[in-house]
Structure 1
């Protein structure tokens, strides 16, 4: 296949990146999310339902803010050390904020991983190495899920499913979806571990053969690209020592645990929640994630809001108070990053492309 001239290929890559990150993409998820929450409030509101707001506990609110800050600090730390300190602290912060922003404006199935390698590449890291670092984060994130699910299932058992909100066939469907998603994530994570650390070329051959079947043939190109990326990732990462992977694993455990603690801290700030309920809320986050994995809207907008009461309403009380929690949860974990992304994006573009070029790129 003939190769594009380097400057043409770079311009195309830049334009695709800026198209994915353009601030106008904020509008649709905000309209969907706030529309769903507004409808939920309209349907459920009764005078006196928000009396619990008067009992807000400033200590829990402070803990929630600290957890959010710790989570983001952990992400910044992880990407800086995964890239072996090639990224400065400022560049690491920019990358994480834009990564979160892209996760908010792109469908959940795509997420920020479609944009992250290009962000690293624009920070001066070769594209092959950028892909390797992002694949390492994906592997570590998946392994956290693989290891934590048995723990929460062992502790929480059947209470991880919202029997109080769903019954019969719906619970069975959710349970099947949870099991299937766990099997899929486990298989994918172990495949990545085997490819990166043992035999990437064998995995590439397996993917190509598997996706040569007639029903899967249209995905063969993507499968080959995944296999190629795994070979590159293995070459880039295999030589790193135990300290590198220990640091990466601990920071991954830290950021995802913090991420799953947010809802419990938020509920605890307004509702009296015991430690048993608090950890049950933590465990339900993993079943709640199944819904978000299949969301087709940008950042799960509308779907995340609609599913929240099903999983966490029993811990809160009235439907109106639950809807308030939905709004506050999405403000702190979603809408906040839409705003931060809109702030960080022009600054990052100006730093990478220069102010004059940045205006031209953003206006294109």
Structure 2
């Protein structure tokens, strides 16, 4: 669980990054003209965008509910939705989304879900979540040369870096899962080297935690081998979940009455931004996401690129942050009432 002190500093960091983002994006711009352009956007296209954000959060809750049933854990879908909301909220406010899963495990413990089971489920969710980005990124890099030349020449290095970082992450997690003994040897030797060169102080507790982590990866590998059909279905749900969030930008495009750019071009460009920023140590890719949007979509949105960015990011990230915050508070209230009644 995140300590109160760590949560406080994460929120401070979020506010600082948000303030710098606001300054960087809007410095020298005419706020009045931007707001006038936003007011002209057709709300009938924006409301479905908020629905898609809710669907994005709900999609993970269905995955959690579905996988828990394989462990004979019967929970109501609304409880899994609270778990999902907690994960998204703390992922949104912590660098590289590191805070989501610890908080999900904390709340899962309140439902008496064993920590190893919760960890294995969330490990599978993480692997599939990043695997979908890797597949999309590699697909764009290999088969979308013309597409990249048309839209992405200026941001191609950032995109390739994002693809490589995601490939490394998925590859590393795959080694941890399917070759835990090899991974344990590599990590143990690495730990000893850090201790030998005085980068870390020697602690037996650190070695014990490493061995416990390796056991979790062994259990994850066993789960993956025993449930290939389920893993495939989780990947499909994750892919649909991701596409739903990327489609928000297409709805913003329609809200301005624009035409001429195919729907899939807009969706793929939004995917490019997510792939590029996913592994960066910034909460929600804040700052770099806005900068990439303004670069990539300038030829798509033209004079309304800045208002389009405000609406797109406002719905796909900031409304997600707000909605997940509301349901995180609901989760806290629910378990406080439950604890008193018990």
TM-score range, shorter chain: 0.7 to 0.9
Specify every segment of 5 or more residues in structure 1 that has no aligned partner in the other structure, as ranges.
1-12, 359-364
Is the contact made by 2:246 and 2:270 (CA closer than 8 Å) also made in structure 1? yes
Task: Name the CA distance, whole Å, in 1 between partners of 2:226 and 2:236.
Answer: 16
Trace 1:126-275 onto structure 2 (pairs within 5 A).
126-157=114-145, 159-160=147-148, 166=154, 171=155, 173-174=157-158, 176-191=160-175, 195=178, 199-209=179-189, 212-213=192-193, 226-235=213-222, 237-238=223-224, 240-274=226-260
Which runs of 5 or more residues in structure 2 are unaligned?
201-205
Task: Check the 8 A contact 1:161/1:284 in 2, yes or no.
Answer: no
The answer on whether the counterparts of 1:70 and 1:258 sit within 8 Å (CA) in structure 2 is yes
Contact 1:146 1:185 (C-alpha < 8 Å) held by counterparts: no
Question: How many aligned positions are there?
Answer: 331
**Match of residue 100 from structure 2:** 112
Residues 149-201 of structure 1, C-alpha deviations (whole Å, 9 max, x = no match): 233334432543786783xxxx5642552453243134235325x52xxx533
Summarize deviations over 1:74-129 as a string: whole Å, max 9, x none: 12211111211533212111111111110111112525234332232233210111
Of 65, 71, 80, 2:50 maps to 65
8 Å CA contact 1:117, 1:130 repeated in 2:
yes
Q: Relative to structure 1, is the Cα distance of residues 48 and 299 closer, same or farther in structure 2, using a 3 angstrom cutoff?
A: closer
Could you tell me whether the CA contact under 8 Å between 2:65 and 2:80 is conserved in 1?
A: yes
Deviations 1:50-79 (A, max 9, x none): 775576345533442342232222122111
Does the C-alpha gap of structure 1 residues 224 and 53 become closer, same or farther in structure 2, counting only changes over 3 Å? same
Q: Distance in 2 between matches of 1:25 and 1:103?
A: 11
- Distance in 2, Cα, partners of 1:36 & 1:250: 34
Shift of residue 40, structure 1, vs aligned partner: 2.8
Indicate the residue corresponding to 1:7 in structure 2: none
Q: What SS class does the counterpart of residue 272 from structure 1 fall into? A: coil
**How large is the RMSD of aligned CA atoms in angstroms?**
3.7
For 2:331 and 2:148, the matched residues in 1 are separated by 41
Distance 2:196 2:129 in 1: 26
Alpha-carbon distance between aligned partners in 2 of 1:259 and 1:50, rounded to the nearest angstrom: 24
Which secondary structure state, in structure 2, belongs to the residue aligned with residue 316 of structure 1? helix
CA contact (8 A) 2:163 2:276 kept: no
Q: Which structure dedicates a bigger proportion of its chain to helix?
A: 2
Does the residue aligned with 1:309 lie in a helix, a strand or coil? Answer: helix
**Whole-Å Cα distance in 2 between the matches of residues 109 and 266 of structure 1?**
26
Once residues 162 and 26 of structure 1 are traced to their aligned partners in structure 2, the CA distance between those partners, rounded to angstroms, is 38
**Taking structure 1 as the reference length, what is the TM-score of the superposition?**
0.74
Matched residue of 1:255: which SS?
helix
1:281 aligns with 2:266: yes
Q: TM-score, normalised by structure 2?
A: 0.78
Do 1:161 and 1:287's aligned partners in 2 also have CA atoms closer than 8 Å? Answer: no
The answer to whether structure 1 residue 348 and structure 2 residue 335 are counterparts is no
1:314 is matched with 299
